[in-house]
Amino acid sequence: MNWLKRYWIWLVLLLTLIMAGAGYLFWSKKSDVPQYRTATIEKGRLIASVAATGTLQPVVSIQVGSQVSGQLKEVLVDFNSVVKKNQLIARIDPESFEYRVRQAQADVDAARAQVATQQANIAAQRAFQSQIEVSLADARRDFERKEQLAEKKFISIAEVDKARAAMNSLVEQVKSAQAQVEVARANAGSAAAVVKQRDAVLAQSRVDLERTAIRSPVDGIVIKRSVDKGQTVAASLQAPELFIIAENLTDLRVDTSIDESEVGKIQLGQKATFTVDAFPGRTFEGQVKQVRKSAQVVSNVVTYLVAISTQNSDLKLLPGMTANVRVVTSVLDDVLKVPNSALRFRPPQKSDEKSDKKTERTKSGQKEGSANGSGRSKREPGVAKLYRVENNELKEITVKTGASDGKMTEITGEGVAEGVEVVTGVKGGDSGRGRSSSSGMGNAPRVF
């Protein structure tokens, strides 16, 4: 009986060892098979958009400056002051400008007096000319009488010659008097021109005096004040900035820079949404109003300014706030879409496969480099690969990618249907991906 008991004990131990070995082999083999995370190809609406950041600005903001230099005597408004058109908001000390007006007025009065003097001179010259003309007429009659008497031998020829000389002398005096009248007229014209010059100087002085009163050009609100009472402003080169007045804060715009690769998707009238850090969780709406054609180049990056209008009826938004903008470029209905992680997924490789792949890529790169002058392989744009699990093996699906909303991407191609499960990563792997690949992201759209 003892030997039979020992026999059964050894038999049980042997069976236990066999079962343990079989279990070890089974679980070790099972652990070699990777476990994948999957997602389902969906069909529905896809909203493609472009994301960017921008700054809130008033639709109309006017920089108020000064056209004259001087010391500020009064500053009548402050930040957030509501102003009306032509309202006095600041004043430069007008004393020196008042003196200039008085001096210019005195110069005008002196010039007008000179004009009056020249007019009197013209009258005097005309009177003198008339006197000479009367004497000339008398001398001409005397000459004619003496000429008749000489013909009758009543007087000598010398008397006739003397009368002729007196008449000719008066003729020249008349010409001289006429010339003096013309000179007097010219002097009067010059004096009148001086009056106009002095009038212009007076008008300019009055304008400068009026400019010492700084007035609001529009109805609005003061969003910036750059000066204080007693400060001296110098307007010799350009008008200094005193205030910035926003005409209407209920209508704002967002100035955002869009990359050159995405600006082609932006069209006038497209809907846009944005958020600001001051109001987390709240989304504001807007509309694309302008795509400016002037490029901005910063660090070799080309962008274009896009203006988005928005309503600010509750005046919560303030100029200068940073806005995180999302412009809706297209809305697609009933399209097949897949998570972007599925487009980025690449199957995991074993160490020996990695070395073989590396050698193969090196040879392929050298071959393409000799043909194309570069070691980079060419890939068809808009083409990506998906993987599905069949009988514990990965099956490759080639698809064409379309629009993307940042999470899901439109796909088309053979073998693509609603409900098909595709691999998005390996369980326990790095971020759910088997192997990161630049080609996976290269084929995914850049549009958010």
| Chain segment 145-204, per-residue pLDDT in tens | 888 888 887 888 888 888 889 888 888 888 888 898 898 889 989 999 999 999 999 999
125-144 per-position pLDDT tens digit: 889 888 888 888 888 888 88
Q: What is the pLDDT of residue 435?
A: 43
According to DSSP, the residues that pair with 256 across neighbouring strands are: 54, 306
**Sign of the C-alpha dihedral, residues 109, 112, 116, 118?**
positive
Sign of CA dihedral 182, 183, 189, 191: negative
Question: Euclidean distance between the first and final Cα of the chain, in Å?
Answer: 82
**Where do runs of H (alpha helix) occur along 333-397?**
340-344, 351-372
- 336, with CB counted inside 10 A (0-12, 13-18, 19+), is buried
pLDDT of residue 383: 87
Nearest to 400 by CA among 387, 410, 388: 410
Q: How many CB atoms lie within 10 A of CB 362?
A: 11
Contact 307, 270 (CB under 8 A): no
* Cβ-contact 290, 242 below 8 angstroms: no
CA distance 123 to 188: 11
pLDDT in the model for residue 425 = 87
Distance CA 171, CA 132 (A): 8
Low-confidence residues in the chain, pLDDT < 50? 30, 364-379, 430-448
Residue 320's nearest CA partner among 1, 56, 99, 85 is 56
**C-alpha count within 13 angstroms, C-beta hemisphere, residue 287:** 5
* Burial of 233 from C-beta contacts in 10 A (0-12 / 13-18 / 19+): buried
CA distance 365 to 359: 10
In this predicted structure, what is the pLDDT of residue 428? 65
186 residue type, one letter: A
